[in-house]
Amino acid sequence: MSFFDKETQNRIDNWLTSEYDETTRALVQTLVDNNENTELLDSFYKELEFGTGGLRGVMGVGSNRINKYTIGKATQGLANYLKKEFPNQSLKVAVSYDSRNNSQSLGHLVADVFSANGIQVYLFQELRPTPMLSFAVRHFGCQGGVMLTASHNPKEYNGYKAYWNDGGQLVAPHDKNVIHEVNAITSVKEIKFDRNEDNIVIVKEDFDKLYIEANKALSIHPEAVESEKDLKIVYSPIHGTGITVVPQMLAAWGFTNVHVVDEQAAPNGDFPTVIYPNPEEEEAMSMAKIRGQELDADIVMATDPDADRVGMAVKNLEGEFQLLNGNQIGSLLVYYVLSSKQEKGELKLNDYIVKTIVTSNLIADIGTSYDVNVYETLTGFKFIGEVITKEQGKANYLVGGEESYGYLVGDLVRDKDAVNSCAFIAEMAAYFKSKGKTVFEVLIELYLKYGFYNEKLISLTKKGKAGAEEIQQMMIDLRADAPKILGDVRVKEIRDYQNQVITYLESGDQVSIDLPKSDVLQFITVDGDVISARPSGTEPKIKFYCSVKEDLVTVSDYDSISKKLEEKVINIMADIVKE
């Protein structure tokens, strides 16, 4: 009796046929000969699927791994779909890649497949950030685009972000339709791998200037940058693509005192100085933070490998460097943009901002206080990009973001943009400094005005097929036996985005949720606490978010209220997070 179900065994057998190259067959055969059944199961139990961030997975052989065949198949499926959606048109796509191992070779493979399908490819000559790929799709009038990256995932991962003609990642119905086209490919022989050089256009360094100048035109307070141009900035690209553009962007805006963390400057897919190349992780920010302390910097910033996320550290009230979480950074950016626009008399009736459902309500509070519309989307910046595209010509997007350190000021792209965000964070710090304030002092001002928000994220990693099933069961159990009390606080409503319904526990009344289906549960307490649970769309994780709030009357109460809220978060999380 086989260790595997029939479909998994069929996939393994297929990858041992002559359709696949000799090296690939040998690697699969070695796993079989050594009875590496767990690895085989995880590698072949399913086909890679598009999540909130496109294709993403561990590199290796197999249908559930990132390799030339899964990437080739995805590209052939996307090419087939583009031809159906844009008939009788000369098709164009843009392709870029980050610093991960194999990203460049996979990027060239993607270009090969598109070019072999008669599609003109704008291929970046060297690694560049994800937001520049989105910018290129729009600049060159492409129907699509592909970025080879696994964003902030560990080094064994790589991935494939697919973009539509608006410069945003694939959303419904295109995401599912592309998967349908990919799944319709039944043989490797259907993938056109033979490069057509006539269809390849190389995007060179001069494109950087177009992107930088377009962003510089968005600057709100250039006079503040001029007066504080020696603002002391420490920046780390964490071995990623940020080094190619972020220092140049900051210089173009007028900042003259930027210090790059040398040990993390060179692109390197092994990410040798960090465990995870993710600015959400304190460990990944530690080297930049230490450099900031040594130099007595004003701000410290670090971007992830494809430079669409940015982390930040600033001096707190005691003068010690403190990491800000994604909600705090996003709230500060929203406040800076809205308050500055109001100061200059530039706010309009049709202005709006966007946040996701698991992002701090502080952002919504700020937006409401400035009389701008606040849109809320599902988790994933592609949904924010979708709103920007839908509202184009009708309303004016200013700024948006999500708690996972992704932000965008202005609508030059349709994805989160850490290069753009670094420039605005620096400008924000310069502006506040010109007013005699630190970034942290402004954050406290926001808490005094809108309430002290304390937020925490707990992620549980569950790898492989067994892990995926465990995560699915955890969500099933939460729905079947939803908590009525969390941290000794009564739950008043449950928002089930999968079933698209809000249930009010006291009355039993239900109202529908006007958002697409998504496997997310939210519990709202009588205190206004928001607790969310969702499987990650990009990693083998289930994530639990908690946001609590209390009034902050004076700055002197900051420490005591902070401690009280932290204890409340711990108690709430203990009731919902089950290892």
Catalytic residues: 151
- Are 393 and 440 contacting, i.e. CB atoms less than 8 angstroms apart? no
Look at residue 323 and give its three-state secondary structure: strand
Backbone Cα Rg of the chain: 24
Cα-based torsion angle of the residue sequence 170, 176, 178, 181 in order, rounded to the nearest 10 degrees = 180
Q: SS3 for 433-461, per residue?
A: HHCCCCHHHHHHHHHHHHCEEEEEEEEEE
Residue 437 makes CB contacts below 8 A (sequence gap 6+) with: 445
Residues 402, 406, 410: CA angle, nearest 5 degrees: 95
User: For 487, left (φ over 0), alpha (ψ -120 to 50), or beta?
Assistant: left
Helices 418-434 and 439-450 pack at an angle, to 10 degrees, of 90
Tokens of 356: 């996701």
Residues 427, 430, 435: CA angle, nearest 5 degrees: 130
The whole-angstrom separation of Cα 97 and Cα 402 is 23
Residues 286, 289, 295: CA angle, nearest 5 degrees: 145
The whole-angstrom separation of Cα 410 and Cα 395 is 12
The whole-angstrom separation of Cα 61 and Cα 67 is 6
Q: How many CA atoms lie within 13 A of 117 on its CB side?
A: 28
Tokens of 358: 């698991």
Look at residue 531 and give its three-state secondary structure: strand
- Are 61 and 48 contacting, i.e. CB atoms less than 8 angstroms apart? no
DSSP 180-244: HHHHT---GGGS-----GGGEEEE-THHHHHHHHHHHTT-S-HHHHHHTTT--EEEE-TTSGGGG
Tokens of 224: 């503040």
The whole-angstrom separation of Cα 333 and Cα 455 is 17
Q: SS3 for 125-143, per residue?
A: CCCCCHHHHHHHHHHCCCC
- Are 61 and 44 contacting, i.e. CB atoms less than 8 angstroms apart? no
Q: If we measure between CA atoms, which residue out of 218, 302, 204 comes closest to residue 253?
A: 218
Which residue type does 455 have? E
Residue 177 main-chain phi, psi, to 5 deg: -65, -40
